[in-house]
Structure 1
Amino acid sequence: MATESIILCSRRIAEKHLKVAVAESATAGRLATAFALTPDSGQIFLGGLVCYDACTKEELLNIPPEIIEKFTAESAEVTQLLAERLTKFFKTDVAIAITGLTSPGGSEKEDKPVGTMFIHIKIPNGVYCAHREVFSGTPETIINKAVARTGELLCNLLDSVSTTSV
């Protein structure tokens, strides 16, 4: 289901004549689904990659194993690289990546508990947002909150850039 924030930012992306693509780990395609269900999807959405496992991040998106080993597959550093490497697959203006921990058994620790999500958004002219937030609830609730938050962050980012500078 598309959240209000995804619907709103999709409209703003369309108004600016931009395209969006996503690389998802913890959200496992939920963000792509949200974009696909908006009224503007045909104008703005190019597609997405689900790279849930670390080996997929390494093999498909060429994330160096030493980066994953140093920072973990669910980290700000890996999330940024995922967003940057989307352009290998999509000619996109807006690149969004999400990683995180929705349930126990990953790389959680005291300073990175279950519910920690990393969101990295890149738009033209080198403008970006790197965001870390800890959500609570079931895995599905955490995923839904992360998708909604991504829409809010993207709307704010798009509002900070004029149409002529994009």
Structure 2
Amino acid sequence: MNCSKAIADRGWNIAFAESASAGRLSAEFSLTEYSGKILRGGITCYEVFVKEQILHIPHSLIEQYTPESPEVTQVLAERSAYIFNSDITVALTGLTTAGGSESSEKPVGTIFLYIITPVGNIKHREVFSGSPEEIVLLAADRAAALIYEKIS
């Protein structure tokens, strides 16, 4: 809620490009009293097809770095910022369950965030523990905290 208020106080808006969170960040921001003032929209890009065909993420980038990577997450944020014409854009990729590109360096629970703001961008990687829902909710909280810290 502090994050939403801070965005509203500045007259800014926010949009999302969500892979692993599948729209949950947008939903969480829609539940605040400031949602009508700040929430521009979002896109769920869970499958690679959506990343490539709708958001125009180059196939070569996904092949080189995997769909769940800081490099792909950054381009998701950049493309979504353009599409939504948003002041703040949050992109999230990661692994909430096994079966993706997990490895010893990138275990299940790894979340990548790239956040574009008018006062600078945020690149964040964190490994969360818990169920898929717990991982996504922790990532949502972290995204809100990172935004609040950056813009306050």
Secondary structure of the structure 2 residue equivalent to 1:61: coil
Q: Which runs of 5+ in 1 are unaligned?
A: 1-6, 160-166
Would you say 1:49 and 2:43 are equivalent positions?
yes
Q: Shift in Å at residue 89 of structure 1? A: 2.1
Match of 1:4 in 2: none
Query: Residues 108-152 of structure 1, C-alpha deviation per residue, up to 9 Å, x if partnerless?
Result: 001000000001100125x10000000011111111110111111
Percent identity of paired positions between Structure 1 and Structure 2: 48
1:116-135 residue pairs with structure 2 within 5 A? 116-124=110-118, 127-135=120-128
2:144 alignment counterpart: 151
Instruction: Tell me, in whole angstroms, the C-alpha distance in 2 between the residues paired with 1:140 and 1:20.
Output: 22
Quote the offset at 1:91 in angstroms: 1.7
Q: How many equivalent residue pairs? A: 152
1:55-81 Cα offsets, whole Å, 9 max, x none, are 110111000000000000000000000
Secondary structure at the counterpart of residue 89 of structure 1: helix
**TM-score, normalization by structure 2:** 0.98
Instruction: Find out whether 1:73 has 2:67 as its counterpart.
Output: yes
TM-score w.r.t. length of structure 1 = 0.90
Instruction: Say what the alpha-carbon RMSD is for the aligned residues.
Output: 0.8
Q: Partners of 2:150 and 2:66 in 1: how far apart? A: 27
